[in-house]
Amino acid sequence: MGTPGFAVPTLEAIHQKGHQVVAVFTQPDRPSGRGRSIAFSPVKQKALELNLPVCQPATLKDTATVEHLSNLKPDVLMVVAYGLKLPDDILNIPKYGAVNLHPSLLPKYRGAAPINHALLNGEKSTGVTSILMNSRMDAGDIILQQEVPITGDENAGELENRLAVLGADLISRSLEVLKTENCELKKQDEGLVTLAPKLSSQDGHIDWGRTAIQIQNQIRGLAPRPGSYALFKGKRLEILNILTNCKLQIVNYELLPGQVVAADKNSGLVVKTLDGAVILMKVKPQGKNAMSGDEFIRGYKPLVGEKLS
């Protein structure tokens, strides 16, 4: 059971290990792109490539879906970023239960956006966790867990790709653990729970009154989606990449966070922050292609003192 690209490596790993996949459940096809043409989920695309049967119920609460899944007599349900809540009627069907892969070190970052929140908070490490699901979100007993460091310039999309591969291996090992007699699972410590709720485009609006590192963490944590942005002359300017080690001495101490400190070939496009300044290395003006900070300077001619809000 899965929908986005994050779940594809797990499906591939299970299939390659020779496990019998009796069905692949994924969310219904939806319109996508500017043309709003119907698109298959990445999991459906992979399942069709592997000649696996695909099921796409809009809900798991109807009697027909529960009966269909029960008739399949699965030993285990593998759930990776499916996007639909599994009711107890579904969780109780498989012999060994339902196993979920979660891209955090549970009980930290329960919720829909654990990778994003780990980067937003400047975490130095994260990981993947497999749990035996219960009726509460991401609260099941831990089967296996693996921690990995976060590199200094890694964004959410890049980290997601890395954790997807790591998680596929963890799921394969978790299946072997479940098959052993009297396997010992670990209860989650409820006192250590933190949440990672779903993010929206509004979360990407940059507050220049924060530190340079906090702003960098935001840009990394929200890339590529929903993205980070500011407003310049009333229009959206996506901020794709910055440098925080700005060595430029700020002579005008009256400048406020968000104001342009410098905009020239030698210094680059420099913007004031709470604790100094950052250099905007790559931006994307509204309705335009991405460009370097130097290209933005030449095309839009920002002036010292102008404000990014």
Summarised one tens digit per residue, pLDDT across range 223-236 is 999 999 999 999 99
pLDDT for the residue numbered 35: 74
Angstrom distance (rounded) from CA 111 to CA 35? 31
Question: Is 82:26 a contact under the CB 8 Å cutoff?
Answer: yes
Neighbours of 7 (CB within 10 A): 27
Tell whether 136 and 271 lie within a shared domain: no
Tell whether 248 and 135 lie within a shared domain: no
Tell whether 116 and 161 lie within a shared domain: yes
Summarised one tens digit per residue, pLDDT across range 3-23 is 999 999 999 999 999 999 999
Tell whether 48 and 114 lie within a shared domain: yes
Tell whether 205 and 181 lie within a shared domain: no
Q: Which amino acid is at 60?
A: L
Summarised one tens digit per residue, pLDDT across range 59-81 is 999 999 999 999 999 999 999 99
Tell whether 89 and 187 lie within a shared domain: yes
Tell whether 176 and 224 lie within a shared domain: no
Mean residue pLDDT of the chain comes to 96
CA-based nearest residue to 241, from 205, 207, 202, 284:
284
Give the predicted TM-score (pTM) of the model: 0.95
Structure letter (DSSP) for residue 238: E
Summarised one tens digit per residue, pLDDT across range 92-138 is 999 999 999 999 999 999 999 999 999 999 999 999 999 999 999 99
- Is the pLDDT confidence value at 272 over 80? yes
Domain-embedded: residue 309:
no
pLDDT for the residue numbered 123: 98
- Domain span including residue 93: 5-192
Tell whether 96 and 229 lie within a shared domain: no
